[in-house]
Amino acid sequence: MSPYEPRPEGLNTDPAPPSVVGTLRRHTEAEYITYDLFMGEEADIKCRTVKLVTARKPHSCWLGQAFGAKPHEIAVGELHRYEKALVDGDYWGSYRCCLRCMDAEIDDVQGTSDGDDE
């Protein structure tokens, strides 16, 4: 794919290496990437990139900062979701979210839970 061709919105076209796929928790790489945390929001989102990355330094988990949530960090070496986008045409936003929180969000929408959520 040429760097000048448009990318499919919201998808990382390069599959994760097998060593990374082995660290996934309860869902597939595609589920972690395609799940929309902002479902129903009215913002105009452009230039969106979503991918699973390995932390090179500690980061705060974005969902851990939500009201009523327990703040926590993404540890060095931990696989997590990273998303960035141009919001409403004038603001570049980005966040990082650990897979444990992603599991809880996906399970909440699907109406399933295996009981190991903290």
pLDDT band at 114 (very low <50, low <70, confident <90, very high): low
Name the average pLDDT for the chain: 80
**Sign of the CA dihedral running 66, 108, 12, 91:** negative
Q: Among 46, 78, 45, 49, which residue's Cα sits nearest to residue 61? A: 78
Q: What is the pLDDT of residues 12-44, one digit of tens each?
A: 555 555 555 555 668 888 899 998 888 877 888
More confident residue, 66 or 4: 66
Run of H or E including 54: strand 45-54
The token pair at 102 is 């992603």
- pTM for the model: 0.70
